[in-house]
Chain A
């Protein structure tokens, strides 16, 4: 599943005053890092969930409960990421509507 996510969010805020440049760059970088970190976490949880599904399918494990738990965990973090993405896209659209 291709999650197209560009951690570089500077494109959403193109007009930054020079005076605020230092602060906002740092804020941009931190935000970008946070997004990248949660993207990695989602991938990690997703891979763990998939591995447990394969174990169940191949008969190596009979533990349905742990499969359900790991899939639910991965799903929750994925939903969070999707929510953040949707909010960012909405914010972008709002910004584009603004008269400069």
Chain B
């Protein structure tokens, strides 16, 4: 792990944070939008998506979304109205394994983290500008 003089490193790391948490927002909004999607194209309900965060490298590095995985948890089953074409043999409809409270918590986390990264960018810019004051 080297400590080099790349002072724009902080900027790149903050930008990677913006990208990663922006992606997380995408995932959360996809889950929320599809919370009631009983047919995601192949007859199966929508499966919840989850973003896996990974540090870019050892040491002081940025973050990235390494992959988007499907939550393989069980679908929730709800009782169908009689005659509903989507009902299975037992009269139940499978709903997506999306839980709104969980998604909203993730939304909050992503939003706060995104703002924190944006604040880093702004603060860092001010820091370097203040060191430029030495030359005034």
The residues of A with any CB-CB pair to B shorter than 8 Å are 61-66, 68-69, 71-72, 75
Contact = CB atoms under 8 A, between A and B. Distances in A.
B132 A68 contact: yes
A56 B80 CA distance: 68
Interface in B105-130: 128
Contacts of B8: 62
A61 to B, nearest CB: 6
Interface of B: 5-8, 128, 131-132, 134-135
A66 B135 contact: no
Contacts of B131: 64-65, 68
**Top 7 nearest A-B pairs by Cβ distance?**
A63-B5, A62-B8, A72-B134, A62-B6, A68-B134, A63-B7, A68-B131
A72 B132 CA distance: 10
Contacts of A61: 5
Interface centre among A64, A66, A69, A75 (most CB of B within 10 A): A64
Contacts of A66: 5
24 contacts: A61-B5, A62-B5, A62-B6, A62-B7, A62-B8, A63-B5, A63-B6, A63-B7, A64-B7, A64-B131, A64-B132, A65-B7, A65-B128, A65-B131, A66-B5, A68-B131, A68-B132, A68-B134, A68-B135, A69-B134, A71-B135, A72-B134, A72-B135, A75-B135
